Amino acid sequence: MESPDKRWARILAEYLGKFRIELPRFPLVLDVGCGNAAVWNYLGVAEYLKDKGLGMPHYIAVDKEEAAFQKAKSQLGELVTFLACDAQTLSDYVKGSFHLALCTHPDLTTSPQGPKMWQRVFTEVAGLLDPRGCLVVTSFWVQDHIPLQVAVDRAGLRILYSGTNIFPGRIFDRASDGEPLQYDKYILLARKLSGPEG
């Protein structure tokens, strides 16, 4: 099977291309609730940018638990700025106008604070997105994906696409109702309300 970074480069080429989202050279990229997946996400973004001749990203990866990204931080070193903070108040920690924000597998259903907490995170992300920027979120089961759609909408973003991802990863488990749990099975793209139509 294709490695997750190559798969992510393809996901970005497919979905950013489909919705005509163009990144500038050396874009500012945010990875929220990154965990150790920051490694694959970063490499996927870097590979996508290389294919487009857009240089290296300025990549900021955030997770509320330092331990969640420890391995990724040791692997990526200086390439990525890692930040341990609660993304519900992200604008207290990072400034800027992000061209791309990624959030892979936010735990809307299983997290103790649930969808309301993630809604606050997406509201912060919305405030930090460039007007031409894009948020890309993936989930591994429908139980997260449906509340995710609601949370992103309530955060004041405009959903461009929400549905199955044509480049999912491997199935790693099965839910109690039989649904196969698969990395990046569903994908959602959203923009600021003030951004260009698309």
Ligand X SMILES: C[S@@+](CC[C@H](N)C(=O)[O-])C[C@H]1O[C@@H](n2cnc3c(N)ncnc32)[C@H](O)[C@@H]1O
Phi and psi, residue 162, nearest 5°: -150, 120
d(CA 92, CA 111) in angstroms, rounded, equals 23
Of 16, 29, 37, 72, which lies in the binding site for ligand X, with binding defined by CB under 6 A? 37
Q: Which range of residues in 2-10, 30-38, 157-165, 174-182 is near ligand X by CB under 6 A?
A: 30-38
Hey, what are 183's tokens? 């990395």
Of 88, 94, 132, 146, which lies in the binding site for ligand X, with binding defined by CB under 6 A? 88
Residue (37 or 60) nearer to ligand X, CB = 37
Residue (25 or 170) nearer to ligand X, CB = 170
Please report the DSSP string for 151-183 in residue order: HHHHTTEEEEEEEE-SS---EEEE-TTSPEEET
d(CA 129, CA 118) in angstroms, rounded, equals 16
Of 94, 18, 85, 91, residue with least CA distance to 59: 94
* Site residues (CB under 6 A) for ligand X, limited to 103-132: 104-107, 117, 121
Of 6, 10, 58, 64, which lies in the binding site for ligand X, with binding defined by CB under 6 A? 64
Of 11, 49, 63, 133, which lies in the binding site for ligand X, with binding defined by CB under 6 A? 63
List residues near ligand X by CB under 6 A: 33-35, 37, 62-65, 68, 86-88, 104-107, 117, 121
